[in-house]
Amino acid sequence: MYLVKNITDPLKAFNGESIKDMKGNELHIKEVLTNQLGSYSGKGVTGDKLIKAYDLGLKIYGSKTEVELDDEQIKFIKSVLEANPMYTSIVVGQVLTILENSKKSEKKSEKKDDKEEVPANK
């Protein structure tokens, strides 16, 4: 599972300044993902893939500051970003890095091993 946080924080240029869109608004991961998923098309894009892109776009758009995605959803988003880039490498590369770094670490079981501890009788 992935927990992508701060999806409305602006993406940054190499110099640390916020990246802006054509209208001068700060560009953030939420906007990049919803734009990319919403415009997904091309050769070999089937109805199932279009529905998947639409559903993921709705999920991300409806999220306020963070969104939880599973491995399959992340893989699909990466394929959309790589197959149909609307943005330059500084934007797409940053989004891909953010997605990859949002992977949750799996919690280890509280048990040390499968053996039950038996209290010693006094």
**DSSP readout, 78-112?**
HHHHHHS--S-HHHHHHHHHHHHHTBPPPPPPS-S
User: Looking at the predicted structure, is the pLDDT value of residue 102 above 60?
Assistant: yes
- The per-residue pLDDT for 106 is 62
Sign of the CA dihedral running 90, 19, 17, 12 = negative
User: Looking at the predicted structure, is the pLDDT value of residue 72 above 70?
Assistant: yes
Distances (CA, A) of 9 to 30, 31, 40, 95, 104: 9, 10, 23, 12, 20
Cα separation of 75 and 82, whole Å? 11
Please state whether the predicted TM-score (pTM) of the whole model is above 0.85: no
- The per-residue pLDDT for 83 is 86
Answer with the residue of higher pLDDT: 110 or 87. Answer: 87
Cα separation of 49 and 53, whole Å? 6
Answer with the residue of higher pLDDT: 58 or 84. Answer: 58
Each residue of 17-62: pLDDT tens digit?
999 999 999 999 999 999 999 999 887 888 999 999 999 999 999 9
